[in-house]
């Protein structure tokens, strides 16, 4: 057991590559606590010379299937005392973008909603044909969060990001690769190995040069995400008062198509 392990995470460092595994199988639903744990591990890894790159992966069927809407109206995302969604989740999410080590997400299944946001926070994504990527917020009567209004346009362009967000459509791993959302698409059993190989390739380069170059490439990204999540949260709290939000969450929990009224 590593000293870096958390309640829902295991951490192993080998050949300058840290493998951070989410352990909430089969779906690895996220909440504030999970994102906090990942952010804490990232910050600890930032201080270690033995780590030059990070692979974020998950046990079970899915990478992160979003929030657990079957567990309650708020999808297991903490609210404040006024009944509104608090900024705790997005404060933790911004910490992920401040990580100084290159990160590769190994996406073996669904990366949905906030799970897509988590995958998009990484520098690279390795997927398989069975992977599913979806910003499904409008199907829930909701507004995208987790900085996806920043990261998706950065990764796949404004038009394709708009199409994903406004339709809530799902992309499989091959489509995600064709669009540039995934950097590689390999057989499912090889996803983690392929992600580790990318991390090893990075770790084999000069660490100071890698850090300097990555800092330049991502200059201002964390700050942009921080500003954008503030706006995303405002929109989410407005929409959370709507009947469409209630219908979207109810339909998701009941695994049926929602019937929206625009109210």
Residue 87: predicted pLDDT: 79
124-127 β-sheet, strand order: 9-14, 17-22, 53-58, 103-106, 124-127, 184-185
CB 185 within 8 A of CB 173: yes
Quickly state the pLDDT bin for 80 (edges 50, 70, 90).
very low
Residue 212: predicted pLDDT: 98
pLDDT tens track for 8-43: 999 999 999 999 999 999 999 999 999 999 999 999
Residue 88: predicted pLDDT: 87
Instruction: Say yes or no: domain 9-210 is CATH 3.40.50.720.
Output: no
Which of 65-69, 122-126, 144-148, 230-234 bottoms out in mean pLDDT, i.e. has the lowest?
A: 65-69
**pLDDT average, residue stretch 71-94:** 62
Residue 178: predicted pLDDT: 98
Residue 36: predicted pLDDT: 96
pLDDT > 60? residue 161 = yes
Q: Which residues, including other chains, have CB under 8 Å from residue 23's CB and lie 6 or more apart?
A: 8, 9, 10, 58, 59
pLDDT tens track for 91-108: 999 999 999 999 999 999
1 compared with 193, residue with greater pLDDT? 193
State how far the alpha carbon of 218 is from the alpha carbons of 76, 97, 145, 224, in Å: 31, 9, 20, 10
Residue 71: predicted pLDDT: 53
Cα distance between the two ends of the chain: 51
Quickly state the pLDDT bin for 70 (edges 50, 70, 90).
low
CB 11 within 8 A of CB 19: yes
Quickly state the pLDDT bin for 67 (edges 50, 70, 90).
confident
**pLDDT average, residue stretch 125-151:** 97
Residue 69: predicted pLDDT: 62
70 compared with 205, residue with greater pLDDT? 205
Quickly state the pLDDT bin for 68 (edges 50, 70, 90).
confident
Residue extents of the structural domains in the chain: 9-210
**pLDDT average, residue stretch 46-75:** 85
How far apart are the C-alpha atoms of 171 and 175, rounded to whole Å?
6
**pLDDT average, residue stretch 207-234:** 97
Residue with tokens 């006024």: 82
How far apart are the C-alpha atoms of 24 and 75, rounded to whole Å?
15
132-134 β-sheet, strand order: 110-112, 132-134, 170-172
Q: Which pair of structure tokens corresponds to residue 23?
A: 């352990």
């Amino acid at each position: 057991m590593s000293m870096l392990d958390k309640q829902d995470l295991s951490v192993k460092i080998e050949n300058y590559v840290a493998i951070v595994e989410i352990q909430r199988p089969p779906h690895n639903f996220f909440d504030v606590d999970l994102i906090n744990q990942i952010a804490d591990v990232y910050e600890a890894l930032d201080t270690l010379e033995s780590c030059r790159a990070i692979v974020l992966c998950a046990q079970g069927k899915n990478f992160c299937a979003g929030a657990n809407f079957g567990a309650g109206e708020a999808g297991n995302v903490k609210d404040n005392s006024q009944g509104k969604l608090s900024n705790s989740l997005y404060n933790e999410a911004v910490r992920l973008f401040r990580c100084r080590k290159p990160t590769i997400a190994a996406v073996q299944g669904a990366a949905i909603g906030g799970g897509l946001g988590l995958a998009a926070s990484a520098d690279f994504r390795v997927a398989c044909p069975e992977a599913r990527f979806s910003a499904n917020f409008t199907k829930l009567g909701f507004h995208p969060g987790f900085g996806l209004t920043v990261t998706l346009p950065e990764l796949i362009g404004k038009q394709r990001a708009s199409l994903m967000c406004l339709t809530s459509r799902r992309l499989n791993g091959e489509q995600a690769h064709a669009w540039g959302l995934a950097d590689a698409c390999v057989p499912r059993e090889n996803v983690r190995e392929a992600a580790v190989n990318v991390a090893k390739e990075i770790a084999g380069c000069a660490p100071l040069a890698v850090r300097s170059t990555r800092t330049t490439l991502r200059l201002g990204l964390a700050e942009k995400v921080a500003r954008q999540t503030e706006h995303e949260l405002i929109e989410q709290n407005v929409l959370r008062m709507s009947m469409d939000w209630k219908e979207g969450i109810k339909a998701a929990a009941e695994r049926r198509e929602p019937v929206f009224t625009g109210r």
